[in-house]
Chain A
């Protein structure tokens, strides 16, 4: 299994600002994914990040709001731009891909926007 770390673990931000969340995997992986989880709720896929190509966004999520980088096979970032209180959530990255299909999750970044 892959071990995934995220930075920061939590942050409190003011509306209108941006926050970049980092995700580091301890091994090379094909795909990385970003999810959002409202407190006490389920997980919703934001986008899929493949190394060397543009991220693929799910319905309701756009690149201008959630730009993603995937510079190599072990690292990805998600930026939450021009934040509003509605962006307060837990943001999780996962790593997986290939025939195994398995996805392993990081510990999450708890974001509060005031």
Chain B
């Protein structure tokens, strides 16, 4: 089955700096890669996703890049703010919308004021 590795497990950045979280996946059939933000006591919130036919996607301060050859994808957050502090999960899915997600272990992002 699919295996998703995520690094780093903890990332501390100064407010206003950029943060990058990286994930690799094992199954070359995976074609959908979402990122979730989870705050304490809440369910994961979908923040951005990318499909296998696209190399990069941006939404305001958040961007995701995908390298299918290398089987890795990354989340980039620019101009970080205190409210960006949370746990971020990457995930991968094969097939159509009928497939569940395989998650990475998560990254605890800490924004230092």
Contacts and interface: CB of A to CB of B under 8 A. Distances in A.
A48 B1 CA distance: 16
Interface stretch (A12-20, A62-70, A77-85, A105-113): A105-113
Nearest to A100: B97
A59 B47 CA distance: 28
Interface residues of A, number: 30
A25 to B, nearest CB: 13
Interface string B8-50: 0000000000000000000000001010100000111110010
Task: Name B's interface SS.
Answer: loop
Given A101-B51, A102-B46, A107-B43, A48 B100 contact: yes
Contact of A42 (B97, B100, B105): B105
Contacts of A104: 46
A102 B34 contact: yes
B100 A33 contact: yes
Interface string B83-100: 000000100010011111
A54 interface: no
B46 A31 contact: no
A4 B42 CA distance: 12
Given A97-B97, A101-B97, A42 B45 contact: no
Nearest to A30: B97
Nearest to B90: A42
Given A101-B49, A102-B34, A48 B98 contact: yes
Nearest to A92: B43
Interface string A39-68: 001111100101000000011000000000
Interface of A: 1, 4, 30-31, 33, 35, 41-45, 48, 50, 58-59, 92, 94, 96-108
